[in-house]
Amino acid sequence: MTANLVMVFFVAGALFAAGVLAVAWRRDVSSALAGIPLILAGAGVAFVGVARFAGAGAPHLFGQEVAVLLAVAATALLALGLGVAGREGTR
């Protein structure tokens, strides 16, 4: 049993599409914001996969670096979005 770059792209595409589905389907803004980490997770998996399976000479740690930045950015964006949405009963 083995996994190749196509499988990595399938998983990345599935995560990205699940995130887009969450953003498009949810009526409530604070619920729709939960799709942002999923979208960025799909992008991170694609970056790590490409770096892992890239041809000779490519820096394989670059994908890991971008994945770290995307995960941190996802958390920050979610915190900011939920902060703007505000807690119930504060208005």
Q: Which of residues 41-80 bind another protein (CB under 8 A)?
A: 41, 44-45, 48-49, 51-56, 58-65, 67-69, 71-80
Q: How far is the CB of 35 from another protein (least distance, A)?
A: 7
Q: How far is the CB of 71 from another protein (least distance, A)?
A: 4
Structure tokens at 72: 């941190």
Contact 49, 12 (CB under 8 A): yes
- DSSP classification of residue 54: P
> How far is Cα 68 from Cα 43, in angstroms, rounded to an integer?
11
Site size toward another protein (CB under 8 A) is 79
